Structure 1
Amino acid sequence: MSQLRATKPGLLVCMAICTSIFLYLRTPTPEEPEEEPAYPAVVDCGFYPDELCSALFEGKGAASQVAQFCKNPHRSEILAHFYAPGNCSRTSQGLRFITRPLSAEEGNFSLAYIVMIQEELATFVQLLRAIYAPQNVYCVHVDEKAPKKFKTAVHTLVNCFENVFISSENEKAASAGFPRLQAEINCMKDLVHAKLQWSYVINLRGQDFPIKTNKEIIRHIRSKWTDKNIAPGVIQTPNAKAQTSQSHPELSPEGHIRVSPHRRFKDEPLHNVTIYSGSAHYILTRKFVEFLLTDVRAKAMLQWAKGMRSPEQHYWVTLSRLRDAPGASPNAGWEGNLRAIKWRHEEGKVHDGCKGHYVQDACVFGPGDLPWIIQSPSLFASKFEPSAEPLVVLCLERWHRLRVLGQAEVPTEPHWHFRQQSHFNMS
């Protein structure tokens, strides 16, 4: 099988452009006026240009100009590896999964993940192999509305790993709102019965990607959060707090609750629980998860959350602030460094603007965002859309894998390394 799978004309065009940009970056001529290069509408890059990724991480503007025209047309090739019954060894090796703990520290510290996905198999594989470690356990929630072909492919892949499984109950439209909350609780019910005895659970969506290694995530937890939950958020002002008693609250870009005056009122939550507002992302202790599934206050609040537009922004943080809850963090605020997100209202303050495009006030990262992402202290970054910006995740996962293997304390296997060309290539 050829190492370069692009069509000949597309390959020649892409090689010419990437060679030109490489020479430009190596031998700048500031005294000459820069001409706007004439790029084709789309360039099909059938190989992985290391020079281009390196230039993107270094913040070279010309590299970003090339990247927006460089598309990878072969992401669907990843599907071919999943339809060979009994060929799990070839699947895990061909897809570059790391199959042994990389250190004693990691082997003795098991994490659980809840991964929410809806579509795009290649994107799921990129995320799973980036966070995968054999000592961890993974509950994958596939949206009930996902295409049948996608569900079949995910099941085929998951069946190759003893520590990865599909949630026993799947929800429809689980990207946000109460279905998302219920879907994560469904996974928690499955995880507490898993064979592996994990210590903390982390929730992810298909638009997330790690920017810290498994070892770095463990050390982040141990640095300040041993036996504690990380659930960023704050108590609301009296006015905003009152508004949470109404159905369908919305979180403004400034982080305040706003509700239409035409919405009906809900009853106050039972048991005098003080409502907090915060992030939908978390790292929770196993004992706290068991508490969520059994405590009468947690069950009552879950019922109370029905009908709210974004209950996931209140449920986790509110219950983690209960002083008698396992792993409680009653005095915590927004700290935790869980997600690197570029919010529109923070432009010019926290970040230098979105180099991709905004969707609901959150940046979908473009190639020009890569330097900001890798400099973030956060554990994960969001949002990514590989179908629109394939090079962003391709470059980031290569950077991440090199970082992972660089920290390994055991001999590395050849198939753990990505090739210099397309690492979806099996030959």
Structure 2
Amino acid sequence: MAPTSSNIVTGGRGKDWIRWTVSVLLGCCIGILFFYTTGQMSSYETSYPRAFHPPAPVKNSTANGETNSMQSSLYKGSLEFFNKLPKVRVPSINCAALFEGIEKEVQNAKSLMKSSPKKIIPDKDILNDASNCDKFVRDRQYIMSTLSREEEEYPIAYSMVVFKEVEQVERLLRAIYRPQNLYCFHVDKKSPENFYIAVRQISNCFENVFIASKRIDVQWGQYSVLEADLICMEELLKKSRKWKYFINLTGQEFPLKTNLELVKILKTYNGANDIEGTVKRRNMNRFKDLPTPPYNITPMKGSVHIVASRPFVDFVLNDPKAKEFHEWDKKAGIPDESFFTTLNHNPQLGAPGAFTGKDPETHPEKKPFNTRFKNWGDWPFDYPCHGKRVRMVCIFGIGDLPLLMQRKEFFSNKFYLDYEPLAYDCMEELHYNRTMAAYMLPFDNSYYKNLSYVRNHVKVKW
């Protein structure tokens, strides 16, 4: 309660009045600053979402006519739910209808993309914009607040291996950026100079974003794919002791979960690693010219994309057994598809968070791979592709949005900005709206809590 004139006196109560006045003024300043950094309208002309406008809590009618706060999951895919999210919208299209798969809106979107093809913003233009960091951060509405104590106390480290199209790289960074997290860019050595300089300038706008000191020429199928991530891993470990989990990304992906959701899931993981693994689908020809692996190791096959605890990252880089296997694996065919997964699925090595269950095979139901949703068109990652396939992988289009909205994975791969770009725009809209709605809706972690690798893993000492 505010002090009245009758209790404004000298002594202790006078000091109370001063403290109350200062606290009110400080609170107002903080509120204005938060609006300025996360909600100010931008004049920058592009298709990414504008200011956040958090909605009032959504009400549902119960059987007896009473109203309760919405208890539905964040993954509910109804138009009614989507339309009650914060009013951030992609211009000229109804993303809510596209997420519902409504054919009329799908055709409208296809017609719009045909009549008005997207013009990718040149790298040099983004470089020019980023030369004024304050304006760049403000206009693109980066979230410069930790948003919650829970997120502040559970930072995440990212490596981002990138090589082209600064616009898409910057939009990915903006979607996942939080000041408490840590981000390492590895820029391919063969990337155009304008691309490298633009990424460097963007990184200079943030204290917690940096470019790896060593750049290499990344070639598919070669050791360099793995090496780029290892370079960032090592520098992330040295930069900060605070982060809890590591996630590696490329520039053509987009999050399916908000930062708050990721934190809640990773806390549920409690040190477990989320790494694909298979013995049945591995290609033994990749190891045919190699000696027997050390430490009675069974070589595995899996994705280079991982979600791993900090102690696992430390083990990968510094444990003598991991180093010896690293030297062995470097000579294998496509070593990035055998390194992380082998360390994670040979628990006799003692890697923190490694899987200790009986069956290491990745399976959509028994042992799902939640790090990445990547539609290969082949079991266990076989789904209809409404976009187009490039080297088997589905490049997502607007017809894939209903499926993407329902996925439980952390990130989706992959998107091309020059192919059905409204799909990426709508994913961006959904992600930004969910970011704000997440603080008003409950999160059910039972699916993640019951995963086999969460229940069966080498315990982690944080």
Give the TM-score range, shorter chain.
Answer: 0.7 to 0.9
* CA 355–241 in structure 1, closer or farther in 2 if over 3 Å, else same: closer
* CA 187–175 in structure 1, closer or farther in 2 if over 3 Å, else same: farther
Counterpart of 1:62 in structure 2 is 104
* Matched AA of 2:245: Y
Instruction: Confirm or deny that 1:355 pairs with 2:399.
Output: no
C-alpha displacement at 1:345, in angstroms? Answer: 2.8
CA contact (8 A) 1:82 1:153 kept: yes
CA contact (8 A) 1:79 1:121 kept: no
* CA 156–3 in structure 1, closer or farther in 2 if over 3 Å, else same: closer
CA distance in 2, matches of 1:50, 1:176: 41
CA distance in 2, matches of 1:122, 1:62: 30
1:199-238 equivalence runs, <5 A: 199-223=244-268, 225-236=269-280
* CA 191–102 in structure 1, closer or farther in 2 if over 3 Å, else same: same
Counterpart of 2:377 in structure 1 is 344
CA contact (8 A) 1:61 1:368 kept: no
Question: Secondary structure at 2:143's aligned position in 1?
Answer: coil
* CA 5–370 in structure 1, closer or farther in 2 if over 3 Å, else same: closer
C-alpha displacement at 1:195, in angstroms? Answer: 3.2
CA distance in 1, matches of 2:417, 2:318: 39
Counterpart of 1:131 in structure 2 is 176
Counterpart of 1:154 in structure 2 is 199
CA distance in 2, matches of 1:366, 1:94: 27
1:362-381 equivalence runs, <5 A: 362-381=393-412
* Matched AA of 1:235: V
Counterpart of 2:352 in structure 1 is 326
CA distance in 2, matches of 1:283, 1:162: 23
Counterpart of 1:76 in structure 2 is 121
Alignment equivalent of 2:320, drawn from 280, 296, 300: 296
C-alpha displacement at 1:85, in angstroms? Answer: 7.4
CA contact (8 A) 2:272 2:354 kept: yes
Counterpart of 2:155 in structure 1 is 110
CA contact (8 A) 2:93 2:109 kept: no
* Matched AA of 2:410: L
Residue by residue over 1:161-217, the C-alpha shift from the partner in whole angstroms, topping out at 9 and shown as x without a partner, is 000000111120255531110110001110111135101100111121101101111
CA distance in 2, matches of 1:48, 1:85: 23
1:207-286 equivalence runs, <5 A: 207-223=252-268, 225-236=269-280, 242-246=284-288, 265-286=289-310
C-alpha displacement at 1:370, in angstroms? Answer: 0.5
* Higher-Rg member (1/2): 2
Identical-residue share of aligned pairs (%) = 33
Counterpart of 2:136 in structure 1 is 91
* CA 88–174 in structure 1, closer or farther in 2 if over 3 Å, else same: farther
CA contact (8 A) 2:315 2:351 kept: yes
Instruction: Give the stretch that moved more between structures: 269-278 or 299-308.
Output: 299-308
CA contact (8 A) 1:102 1:408 kept: no
CA distance in 2, matches of 1:179, 1:91: 33
C-alpha displacement at 1:302, in angstroms? Answer: 2.1
Question: Secondary structure at 1:140's aligned position in 2?
Answer: strand
Residue by residue over 1:324-344, the C-alpha shift from the partner in whole angstroms, topping out at 9 and shown as x without a partner, is 112222325422412222222
Counterpart of 2:224 in structure 1 is 179
CA distance in 2, matches of 1:96, 1:279: 33
* Matched AA of 2:437: G
CA contact (8 A) 2:123 2:195 kept: no
C-alpha displacement at 1:83, in angstroms? Answer: 2.3
Alignment equivalent of 1:287, drawn from 311, 316, 324: 311
* CA 318–87 in structure 1, closer or farther in 2 if over 3 Å, else same: same
Question: Secondary structure at 2:247's aligned position in 1?
Answer: strand
CA contact (8 A) 1:213 1:400 kept: yes
* CA 242–398 in structure 1, closer or farther in 2 if over 3 Å, else same: closer
* CA 108–297 in structure 1, closer or farther in 2 if over 3 Å, else same: same
* CA 108–304 in structure 1, closer or farther in 2 if over 3 Å, else same: same
C-alpha displacement at 1:307, in angstroms? Answer: 4.2
**Structure 1: 5+ residue stretches without partners:** 7-46, 247-264, 410-427
CA distance in 2, matches of 1:160, 1:139: 14
* CA 156–5 in structure 1, closer or farther in 2 if over 3 Å, else same: closer
* CA 313–233 in structure 1, closer or farther in 2 if over 3 Å, else same: same
Counterpart of 1:11 in structure 2 is none
CA contact (8 A) 1:79 1:122 kept: no
Using the size of structure 1 for normalisation, the TM-score is 0.75
Residue by residue over 1:34-64, the C-alpha shift from the partner in whole angstroms, topping out at 9 and shown as x without a partner, is xxxxxxxxxxxxx943543222111012322
Instruction: Give the stretch that moved more between structures: 267-276 or 78-87.
Output: 78-87
C-alpha displacement at 1:287, in angstroms? Answer: 1.2
CA distance in 2, matches of 1:172, 1:160: 26
* CA 4–120 in structure 1, closer or farther in 2 if over 3 Å, else same: closer
* CA 74–94 in structure 1, closer or farther in 2 if over 3 Å, else same: farther
* CA 84–363 in structure 1, closer or farther in 2 if over 3 Å, else same: closer
Counterpart of 1:44 in structure 2 is none
* Matched AA of 2:135: R
CA distance in 2, matches of 1:202, 1:77: 28
* CA 88–175 in structure 1, closer or farther in 2 if over 3 Å, else same: farther
CA distance in 2, matches of 1:50, 1:321: 48
CA distance in 2, matches of 1:184, 1:4: 34
C-alpha displacement at 1:267, in angstroms? Answer: 2.1
Counterpart of 1:413 in structure 2 is none
**Structure 2: 5+ residue stretches without partners:** 1-41, 48-88, 363-367, 441-462
CA distance in 2, matches of 1:134, 1:226: 23
CA contact (8 A) 1:143 1:170 kept: yes
